[in-house]
Structure 1
């Protein structure tokens, strides 16, 4: 514990630890008491405990952690860095500074949200897409990945930067010679978050090329970040396949065939459930069932999974999917 603070329930936590707890997974409760704890809770510094920690460090000759900027100082630094992004000669250096600070602590990432860093990074990504350049793109994507979108930010970003989806899809379409799967993983995570929070107007505007790109991502087998990229790609398909129009484009892009191929590769349980959930939607149409039956191992794979229903107690669509295919056959 470096910076002890008291939360609304009277429990003391390390500031960075409780901020991380609140920021990830939408945790709204106090970890100890399980009482509701506002996400934007004001923390009260526990000065007595801090003095005890400092005294213990001094008595045991423990080297204390280096002091970090206060939230106000960090926000001022971020505001100046955002201004520097507009200067071509300072842009890359400023992006690297943002990247370094964002990877340092949860407190830094929260401060960045407050001063508009998300919008600034989105502007950089869209600008790279429009100008066909990759200078600063990797850094901007990494900052967005680390800081993340809130639900309100997502709606605002989609309203004001309608090209962000095209920009992220453009990143996913980089050929193998570019050789940076981390950028593709970050783009997939950001796409998933945008689509999860996006309204129906956004989801129903997706184009065939978008789904072709996602299917290509599922087909790629570069070992670095492979499992994460596949899982995020499946989440993107699952968040959009509830629309019949999107299902039709996924089928046209060859998604059913690739999903069967993925399942034949014996993925982990979570990935298998995602595959089956997407197949359930795609095989609700005649074209999807035809494509599944067109794969030499499609029906056998479904039958095999039916034999392992114990692994799928949380998802009852597998049997219905099997019935869809058998009735079609």
Structure 2
């Protein structure tokens, strides 16, 4: 087998001039460095930094062989033998030889390879989770926070540890511990320490996302939801952000949401906290998560939908709708559609000068989903208005032509019914004159 060679730096600066002893370090030796073949990974052919032995006895660099295994390969890359085990055993003997070789070639610019940290094992994670469970039931809030923070630090150290933590069931264990902790301190909702410990648990859960259905099912308790509401209302910025993403994951299952509707209705702090995250944006991801959670809760309960309106969110949604990206636009319109299903919501929307102009603008402008939702909200406002002010304003904004074009291009059956109903309502007022922005149609194309 031929020896692999690598050419090191030439001892020249970026400008091409040779470095002198006065202006920089001594020039690097120009000779080629021979890297022993045994030091190279059979997959990447690079110098191994973390050599590990596969069950077939062949040594690979950990990063390369893990990528090979993650791609679904179940044979040894060199021997082609089926793998009896995917366990990787550190080859410390070879690592020490490689490190010694690096130390012997400093003049060629080779640095000593640092000793890699031992990756987390399932048994190690299991021990940590056991401490979390004990702390949640018997320990103080600081001890619980310390226990869950170990999981967070482990999972965030690297992707390998995160996968190990997830595979060991950290998600379900953390949510079960969180529910037990909240139940233990249910009567101490105003205390600072329990809230801080819950924030630590939410940070740990965020490190092992996404949570599976089993993990999410553990937190459907009144005490846990009340504690989440308190964090959403008055927690730290990081705590509130983690709470929004955690709640979005918990509310993903529509059946669970429907079955636990009473718990959600008895926890007004959830809507108030999520509404605050929309009014006072933390970050784009928190805003999207909050809107998604509000929509899922309001979809399951008219009482919660009314609570969304009472939170003062309708004018905020309209202001957000004026300038927002596509993903946020669709979520805002979805929440606004639910809010305008009730009389008070329609009243709040009609009182806002932005309502009709911004809704008409979104028709045929953003996406198919946004168009259908905007038409639905306009239909609710026009149908529920006490006079013809909303109809005539929408007509003056050019919505009549947009609706005709929408029907021509095609849309869903429910949207088609609402668009047709709107056209009938507006037809009697067309003689009052209307205007249309031709720019509204420049992006519209007839389907092939």
* TM-score computed with the length of structure 1 as normaliser: 0.73
Cα distance in 2 for partners of 1:16, 1:99 equals 27
Match of 1:182 among 238, 252, 272: 238
Match of 1:293 among 340, 350, 360: 350
Cα distance in 2 for partners of 1:15, 1:204 equals 46
Match of 1:270 in 2: 327
Q: How many residues align?
A: 289
Post-superposition offset of 1:62: 4.3
Q: Greater Rg, structure 1 or structure 2? A: 2
CA contact (8 A) 1:5 1:15 kept: no
Pairwise CA RMSD: 3.6
Match of 1:14 in 2: 66
Cα distance in 2 for partners of 1:200, 1:69 equals 39
Match of 1:143 among 185, 204, 223: 204
Within 5 Å, give how 1:251-266 maps onto structure 2: 251-264=309-322, 266=323
**Are residues 1:228 and 2:285 paired?**
yes
CA contact (8 A) 1:99 1:142 kept: yes
**Are residues 1:213 and 2:273 paired?**
yes
**Are residues 1:45 and 2:86 paired?**
yes
Query: Unpaired segments of 5 or more residues in structure 1?
Result: 7-11, 19-29, 33-41
CA contact (8 A) 1:125 1:140 kept: no
**Are residues 1:317 and 2:373 paired?**
yes
Match of 2:336 in 1: 279
Match of 1:99 among 126, 129, 152: 152
- The answer to which structure, 1 or 2, has the higher relative contact order (CA under 8 A, 6+ apart) is 1
Match of 1:74 in 2: 125
CA contact (8 A) 1:215 1:258 kept: no
Greater mean alpha carbon deviation, residues 100-109 or residues 82-91: 82-91
Post-superposition offset of 1:245: 3.1
Match of 1:304 among 361, 364, 371: 361
CA gap 1:250/1:268 in 2 versus in 1, 3 angstroms: same
Question: Deviation string for 1:160-209 (max 9, x for gaps)?
Answer: x33211110111111xxx6x211001111112222223231313543345
* TM-score computed with the length of structure 2 as normaliser: 0.55
CA contact (8 A) 2:179 2:218 kept: no
Cα distance in 2 for partners of 1:164, 1:17 equals 39
Greater helix percent: which structure?
Answer: 1
CA contact (8 A) 2:149 2:204 kept: no
Question: Deviation string for 1:97-124 (max 9, x for gaps)?
Answer: 2332232332124325288233123333
Residue aligned with 1:157, SS: coil
